[in-house]
């Protein structure tokens, strides 16, 4: 079955998230003070002494994981653990992961807002990306494509 256009949009949104997560995370690890990202002035607002933990979160959760989901959404590999997820949700495991990462992204931004405010352009871009991931994943064409029998 051919990928519907909205599936390609979901894949694009996840690639955008993944590359951005890796980029931001690497910058945080290279310079844990936050100066490279011009966020060193907000470190005192956060419950961490530097940007190492947020950088690792960005690399693995917002970087590598979305790219792994892209692999699943495009190739639809069948793995035993994936069948367990599919039996539980009634959707292919990578679709479930895409919904999950969209929700986690929105929650990540909510926590950012509580801790340090919502003032940087990247936060708006990231919020729109998270909302679009959820909305596109919920589109009937996408849900139908990834529905499990």
Q: What residues does each domain of the chain span?
A: 5-146
Those residues whose C-beta lies under 8 Å from the C-beta of residue 53, and which sit 6 or more positions away, are none
What's the pLDDT score for residue 57? 97
pTM: 0.93
Partner residues linked to 91 by β-bridges? 147
- Any residues with CB less than 8 A from the CB of 63 and at least 6 apart, and which? 18, 19, 20, 21, 22, 25
Instruction: List own/partner pairs for 1-7 with CB under 8 A and 24 or more apart.
Output: 1/145, 3/74, 3/145, 4/141, 4/142, 4/145, 5/141, 6/136, 6/139, 6/141, 6/142, 7/73, 7/141, 7/142, 7/145
Beta-ladder partners of 147: 91
Position 55 pLDDT exceeds 80: yes
Q: Could you tell me what percent of the chain has a pLDDT over 90?
A: 83
pLDDT at position 31 over 70: yes
| pLDDT over 80 at 135, yes or no | yes
Q: What is the mean pLDDT of the chain?
A: 94
Question: By the 8 A CB rule, do 11 and 74 touch?
Answer: yes
Each residue's pLDDT tens digit, 77-88: 898 898 888 899
pLDDT value at residue 1: 65
**Is the confidence at residue 3, as pLDDT, over 90?**
no
């Amino acid at each position: 079955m051919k990928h519907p256009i909205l599936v390609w949009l979901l894949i694009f949104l996840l690639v955008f998230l993944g590359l951005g997560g890796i980029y931001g995370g690497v910058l945080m690890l290279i310079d844990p003070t936050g100066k490279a990202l011009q966020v060193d002035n907000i470190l005192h607002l956060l419950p961490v002494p530097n940007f190492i933990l947020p950088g690792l979160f960005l690399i693995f959760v917002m970087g590598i994981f979305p790219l792994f989901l892209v692999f699943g959404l495009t190739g639809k590999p069948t793995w035993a653990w994936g069948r367990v997820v599919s039996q539980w949700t009634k959707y292919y495991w990578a679709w479930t992961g895409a919904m999950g990462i969209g929700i986690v992204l929105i929650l990540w931004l909510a926590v950012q807002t509580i801790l340090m405010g919502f003032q940087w352009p990247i936060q708006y871009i990231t919020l729109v990306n998270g909302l679009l991931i959820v909305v596109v994943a919920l589109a009937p064409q996408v849900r139908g494509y990834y529905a499990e029998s």
